[in-house]
Structure 1
Amino acid sequence: MDAQEFFELHQDGCFLLPNAWDAGSARMLAAAGFPALATTSAGVAFSLARADHAAAGRVPRDVMIGRVREVVEAVAGPVSADLEDGYGAAPHDVAETISLAVAAGAAGGNIEDFDGRGLYDRGLAVERVQAARAAAARPFVLVGRTDALLTGGTVAEAVARGNAYLAAGADCAFVPGAADADTIGALVAGLDGPLNVVMGLTGGALSMADLARLGVRRVTVGGSIARALYGHLRAAARELFEAGTFGYAGAQVPQDELNALFSGVRG
């Protein structure tokens, strides 16, 4: 799949775009059969022993872009970059971040309207999406993310912001915090373009088939795979320290399989 085919995926149907945080996780997801991936800023932060959306100690932009490049180089298919809020409030900061992501080989990227403390003013948020669009010609898939629901806002606000970002040049609206059928259905009905939802945050009752019936176009899983793996790591550490047993090892991937996966050509 090339960048144009990735762009066309957003025009019809419903597809899953799992999130990687380094070259190894990307190669493992690609080996499962996924033709395209996204990155997760949360997963990158955790792998560096940093908090996600931290006011202090945030993963620097050059490090995040470096991880995007790692993922791009690890797989054959297109990669959409999690670029948080664009690493700066000003539209020119966002444009520079998008340009760096393009240079790193990303086929798409998302820009949030949340700076770690609250939502950007809607007018400024629109200008930021416009700047991002100007920095990257299609088929680069620009995703306008609103954290309205995560910050206590209404579905109506999420729809209004999502539509404003679509009108400003985003190819897809992303509304995290929508996990039930009623909310997702209302978003699909109100938005003037494709909707991305994030699943896997708490397990969730909706399947890909359910989301397709609701009219969702794109599904990501954010940092949930990374957090699940950290759950296994924590359980293994506790077993070793508290019980002195090695049951955790029963779920490991055999050494020769990992060697074969990571020594082969990308894809």
Structure 2
Amino acid sequence: MPLAPPSSLREFRQLHQSGLLLLANAWDAGSARVMESLGAKAIATTSAGLAWSQGYPDGDLLPVSRLLDAVASIARVVKVPLTVDMEGGYSSEPHAVGELAAGVLDAGAVGINLEDGSGTVDLLCAKIEAVKLAAARKGTDLFVNARTDVFLRGVGPAERRVEETLARARRLRDAGADGLFVPGVKAPADIKAIASEAGLPLNVMAMVGMAHASELEALGARRLSSGANIATATLGRVAALTTEFLRNGGAVSPPEAGITYPALNALLTRG
């Protein structure tokens, strides 16, 4: 699989400049192609959903060879820009994270998510720098969406989380990050403050009780991710249908949203 064309990266960057990029996170080639067919302007992976689809739990436990194979299979069937959730890079060694990012580029992606999780901002910055160097060695670039879990993990006093997020954002930006992902932030005032002061396009994650997409856009957010929600709901539907089938052996419910055997085959024929 050749590198994605430079126009794909330019297109992806432009999607963060104005408006609100809605990213329904896919977990395999089939889900990605369905999402693209419904009008998705870009495809992002969910680390949790992708790990589950490969038979592993979420949390930097997926073998990188399985990640790269999955990314290549998605890139083969979609034409819109693809960005990949690399969790913490599956390593604590920045050089190894950079090499993995190079592999993701080779597989056809134009962007990644890279998170601090329970690690330090120093380590995340070092990983971002290594990723950028690895991309430069290939004569290209990669959109790095740096995720910080201050809100998701409840780091420090609640009244200091915006301040802490912005302090991290400055360092991540200086390390070369192209976007800032702050999952868990939900209050409109917090979103507005981070969006206006971070100096990076702000990515938030859809949550129950969060403002409508149009309000998030007005607050300054530039990217809204579904996270693992669609994958989780889909597997929940699998569980419900399987339970019913095992109970009485009857036919499952009719397909939803036009997702039939012929329709899915047709979507994937161009791959």
TM-score grouping bracket, smaller chain normalisation:
0.7 to 0.9
Provide the C-alpha distance between the structure 2 equivalents of 1:76 and 1:64, rounded to a whole number of angstroms.
Answer: 19
Aligned residue number for residue 171 of structure 1: 178
Instruction: Tell me the CA shift for residue 171 of structure 1.
Output: 0.6
Superposed counterparts of 1:99-248, under 5 Å? 99-114=102-117, 118=118, 120-137=119-136, 139-153=141-155, 154-199=161-206, 202-242=207-247, 245-246=250-251, 248=253
Q: Secondary structure of the residue that 2:58 maps to in structure 1?
A: coil
Superposed counterparts of 1:22-171, under 5 Å? 22-53=28-59, 58-114=61-117, 118=118, 120-137=119-136, 139-153=141-155, 154-171=161-178
Provide the C-alpha distance between the structure 2 equivalents of 1:214 and 1:141, rounded to a whole number of angstroms.
Answer: 23
Instruction: Tell me the CA shift for residue 250 of structure 1.
Output: 5.3
Q: Residue by residue, what CA displacement relative to the aligned partner does 1:58-95 show, whole Å, maximum 9, x if unpaired?
A: 21011112111111111111101111111211211221
| Residue pair 1:42, 1:52 contacting (<8 A) in 2 also | yes
Q: 1:130 to 1:261 in 2, by over 3 A?
A: same
Stretches of structure 2 that go unaligned for 5 or more consecutive residues are 1-6, 156-160
How many aligned positions are there? 256
Q: Residue by residue, what CA displacement relative to the aligned partner does 1:77-130 show, whole Å, maximum 9, x if unpaired?
A: 11011111112112112211111111111111111112xxx2x22222222222
Instruction: Tell me the CA shift for residue 159 of structure 1.
Output: 1.9
Q: Secondary structure of the residue that 2:264 maps to in structure 1?
A: helix
Provide the C-alpha distance between the structure 2 equivalents of 1:244 and 1:94, rounded to a whole number of angstroms.
Answer: 47
Instruction: Tell me the CA shift for residue 21 of structure 1.
Output: 1.2
Instruction: Tell me the CA shift for residue 27 of structure 1.
Output: 0.8
| Residue pair 2:77, 2:268 contacting (<8 A) in 1 also | no
Q: Residue by residue, what CA displacement relative to the aligned partner does 1:188-208 show, whole Å, maximum 9, x if unpaired?
A: 133122111111xx4444222
Q: 1:204 to 1:247 in 2, by over 3 A?
A: farther
Q: 1:134 to 1:236 in 2, by over 3 A?
A: same
Provide the C-alpha distance between the structure 1 equivalents of 2:104 and 2:82, rounded to a whole number of angstroms.
Answer: 10
Stretches of structure 1 that go unaligned for 5 or more consecutive residues are none
Q: Among all aligned residue pairs of Structure 1 and Structure 2, give the percentage whose two residues are the same amino acid.
A: 36
Q: 1:63 to 1:250 in 2, by over 3 A?
A: closer
TM-score by length of 2: 0.87
Provide the C-alpha distance between the structure 2 equivalents of 1:205 and 1:157, rounded to a whole number of angstroms.
Answer: 21
Provide the C-alpha distance between the structure 1 equivalents of 2:246 and 2:170, rounded to a whole number of angstroms.
Answer: 52
Q: Secondary structure of the residue that 1:2 maps to in structure 2?
A: helix
Provide the C-alpha distance between the structure 1 equivalents of 2:107 and 2:255, rounded to a whole number of angstroms.
Answer: 38
Instruction: Tell me the CA shift for residue 256 of structure 1.
Output: 2.0
| Residue pair 2:75, 2:108 contacting (<8 A) in 1 also | yes
Which of 170-179 and 245-254 deviates more?
Answer: 245-254
Instruction: Tell me the CA shift for residue 240 of structure 1.
Output: 2.4
TM-score by length of 1: 0.88
Q: Residue by residue, what CA displacement relative to the aligned partner does 1:165-195 show, whole Å, maximum 9, x if unpaired?
A: 1121011011111133233223213312211
Provide the C-alpha distance between the structure 2 equivalents of 1:70 and 1:198, rounded to a whole number of angstroms.
Answer: 25
Which of 236-245 and 17-26 deviates more?
Answer: 236-245
Instruction: Tell me the CA shift for residue 254 of structure 1.
Output: 2.4
Provide the C-alpha distance between the structure 2 equivalents of 1:72 and 1:262, rounded to a whole number of angstroms.
Answer: 12
Letter of the 2:93 partner, please give it. Answer: A
Provide the C-alpha distance between the structure 1 equivalents of 2:55 and 2:237, rounded to a whole number of angstroms.
Answer: 16
